[in-house]
């Protein structure tokens, strides 16, 4: 096992670069931080390339026994852990996961409940929606082109490992919408418009998609006209709108759970 003390080490520099989209796409992997995510990745049998952990972590032998032997291990100094970490008090355990084996499911073969995210920008919102979709028993989430990159560090933190439970794909939402409609699966849009159907007048569904739009602008007119039906959540107070992740949570649990 290699011990890395200095933050100037080339491996450390490469891991740091995984915080950027360019770095992830060049190295074709992304970074996980913390016990929960690393364990979830192992449980899900993901293609883990490297595990990096501090001396303190390696001394807890019970935990490293759970790590598959074939994964390359690096012992890192606390200084390196701080360098790689996004939090002020890192747990001292990291892993890199290959982006190679990411499932490339086709829109025509998808079944179950799906969440389509149309150009959503905030990584915390996207991550929380993926986690909520997982909790509500959804099959997957499709991010449109022009959305935040799906392995952005803050997004990965907010997902809390849900990317290992459900399918997470980038795709063309028009293509996905067309495929679902061809399969006679309803595609529900969401809008702040009392002309749309009240969300609580729609029952539980098996195979369908729910489309959520951009934080500032909502769903585009183009998407709204391609959906099978548009839903709205009546707001009885004075707030003009709901946070997109909250609206998605209310709709997902109504339609599915």
Our CB check for a copy of itself shows the closer of 96 and 160 to be: 160
Number of residues that bind a copy of itself (CB under 8 A): 34
Of the residues 90, 147, 165, 232, which one makes contact with a copy of itself according to CB under 8 A: 165
- Do 193 and 72 meet the contact criterion of CB atoms below 8 Å apart? no
Q: b/e map of 209-235 (b: 16 or more CB within 10 Å)? A: bbbbbbeeebbbeebbebbeebbbbee
DSSP 124-187: HHHHHHHHHHHHTT--EEEEETTSPPTT-HHHHHHHTTGGGTSEEEEE-HHHHHHHHHHTT--E
Our CB check for a copy of itself shows the closer of 64 and 112 to be: 112
Of the residues 71, 178, 224, 250, which one makes contact with a copy of itself according to CB under 8 A: 250
- Do 146 and 120 meet the contact criterion of CB atoms below 8 Å apart? no
Residues 120-139 binding a copy of itself (CB under 8 A) are: 124, 128, 131-138
Is residue 169 part of the contact set for a copy of itself (CB under 8 A)?
Answer: no
Is residue 253 part of the contact set for a copy of itself (CB under 8 A)?
Answer: yes
Our CB check for a copy of itself shows the closer of 147 and 162 to be: 162
Specify the stretch interacting with a copy of itself by CB under 8 A; choose among 12-20, 66-74, 213-221, 234-242.
Answer: 234-242
Name residue, tokens 């959906």. 227
Is residue 202 part of the contact set for a copy of itself (CB under 8 A)?
Answer: no
Give the separation between CA 44 and CA 100, rounded to whole angstroms: 15
Our CB check for a copy of itself shows the closer of 18 and 117 to be: 117
Our CB check for a copy of itself shows the closer of 18 and 115 to be: 115
Q: Measured on CA atoms in the order 5, 7, 13, 17, is the torsion positive or negative? A: positive
List residues binding a copy of itself (CB under 8 A).
124, 128, 131-138, 158, 160-162, 165-166, 233-243, 245-246, 249-250, 253, 256-257
């Amino acid at each position: 096992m290699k011990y890395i003390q200095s933050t100037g080490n080339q491996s450390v520099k490469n891991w740091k670069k995984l915080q950027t989209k360019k770095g992830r796409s060049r190295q074709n992997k992304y970074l996980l931080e913390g016990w929960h995510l690393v364990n979830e990745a192992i449980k899900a049998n993901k293609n883990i390339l490297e595990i990096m952990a501090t001396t303190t972590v390696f001394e807890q032998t019970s935990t490293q026994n759970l790590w598959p032997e074939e994964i390359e291990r690096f012992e890192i100094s606390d200084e390196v852990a701080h360098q790689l970490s996004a939090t002020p008090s890192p747990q001292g355990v990291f892993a890199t996961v290959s982006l190679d084996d990411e499932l490339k499911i086709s829109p025509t073969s998808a079944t179950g409940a799906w969440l389509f995210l149309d150009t959503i920008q905030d990584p915390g919102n996207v991550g929380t929606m993926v986690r909520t979709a997982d909790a509500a028993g959804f099959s997957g989430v499709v991010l449109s082109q022009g959305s935040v990159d799906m392995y952005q560090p803050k997004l990965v933190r907010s997902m809390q490992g849900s990317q290992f439970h459900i399918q997470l794909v980038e795709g063309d939402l028009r293509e996905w919408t067309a495929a679902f409609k061809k399969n006679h699966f309803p595609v529900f849009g969401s809008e702040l418009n009392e002309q749309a159907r009240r969300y609580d007048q729609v029952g539980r569904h098996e195979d369908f998609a729910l489309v959520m739009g951009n934080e500032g602008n909502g769903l585009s007119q183009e998407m709204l006209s391609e959906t099978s039906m548009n839903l709205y959540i009546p707001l009885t107070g004075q707030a003009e709108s709901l946070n997109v992740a909250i609206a998605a949570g209310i709709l997902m649990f109504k339609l599915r759970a």
